[in-house]
Structure 1
Amino acid sequence: YFFSLDTKQTSECLDGCLSVWPVFYQSNITVDAGLDANDFATIDRTDGAKQTTYKGWPLYYYASDGSAGDTKGDKVNNVWYIAKPDYSLMYVRSQLVGHDGKNYKDDYTEGDG
């Protein structure tokens, strides 16, 4: 799962949050066809744990998912979402940066926001 309050390379799920949303971590990840292993990396969390990321975004399990394929955590509190290759929802929480390196607002005009 993705947590939309996270920022790239930084987890905002701390303390009690982790009992419901445990950190996803695999040191040697194997990916399915259609995914690129180079899109996965590891961050060191502020609590000292390691966490796997996808394109920089921290990944989590949902404690109430009983078995592989369960998706009970999708859209919980409108901030938790199934991790998908087209993670466009995450752009909502970060600065939009164009290929030209400039910052853009949500109306695609130049500026911060």
Structure 2
Amino acid sequence: MSRLLLVAAAACGILAAGPAVQAQGMEPARTADTAKGKTLVDMKGMTLYVFDRDAAGKSNCNGACATNWPPLMASGSDKPMGAWTIVTRDDGGKQWAYREKPLYTWVKDSKVGDVTGDGVNSVWHVAQP
């Protein structure tokens, strides 16, 4: 596909970055420098967090917790790769985990680079690679 067609397709919303990206073997998140050092961030650049009350491979953040700490969701076609695994949530949804720790964003982070969720209730921490 030519560069012009790619730009036009992206502008029209024809290209999707979700499951198609995962099908090509790309990781669901990346590393960025934040005020807390190297941190995992989602594809929008928002900081990812881990929850001390989660068990390895199991999310314990549901209901109101998941409203405040939206899970980094995986699609049905996504596949685990390397340190990236997928856990099944209580509602049946699929969530990405890094080294078996489910990943979340924080509703009070308003812009790329925010790390305001680190240390909340002494159980939330930035996810580090």
Instruction: Please say whether Structure 1 and Structure 2 have the same fold, judged by a TM-score greater than 0.5.
Output: yes
- Preserved contact between residue 109 and residue 117 of structure 2 (Cα < 8 Å): yes
CA deviation map 1:31-81 (0-9, x unaligned): xxxxxx511111111111110000111000001101221100000000000
Q: Normalised by the size of structure 1, how large is the TM-score?
A: 0.64
Matched ranges for 1:71-82 at <5 A: 71-82=115-126
As a proportion of its length, which structure holds more strand? 2
Q: Which runs of 5+ in 2 are unaligned?
A: 1-48
- Preserved contact between residue 69 and residue 104 of structure 2 (Cα < 8 Å): yes
Match of 1:8 among 49, 52, 56: 56
Q: Is residue 84 from structure 1 mapped to residue 128 from structure 2 by the alignment?
A: yes
Amino acid of the structure 1 residue aligned with 2:85: A
- Relative to structure 1, the CA distance from residue 55 to residue 9 in structure 2 (aligned partners, 3 Å threshold; closer, same or farther) is same
Match of 1:49 among 93, 96, 103: 93
Percent same amino acid among aligned pairs? Answer: 37
C-alpha RMSD of matched pairs (Å): 1.6
* Runs ≥4 residues deviating over 2 A: 25-29
Q: Normalised by the size of structure 2, how large is the TM-score?
A: 0.56
Q: Which runs of 5+ in 1 are unaligned?
A: 30-36, 86-113
Q: CA deviation at 1:26?
A: 4.2
Match of 1:67 among 105, 111, 121: 111
Amino acid of the structure 2 residue aligned with 1:15: G
How many residue pairs get aligned? The number is: 78
Q: Distance in 2 between matches of 1:19 and 1:43?
A: 18
Q: Distance in 1 between matches of 2:74 and 2:92?
A: 15
Q: Distance in 2 between matches of 1:16 and 1:75?
A: 18
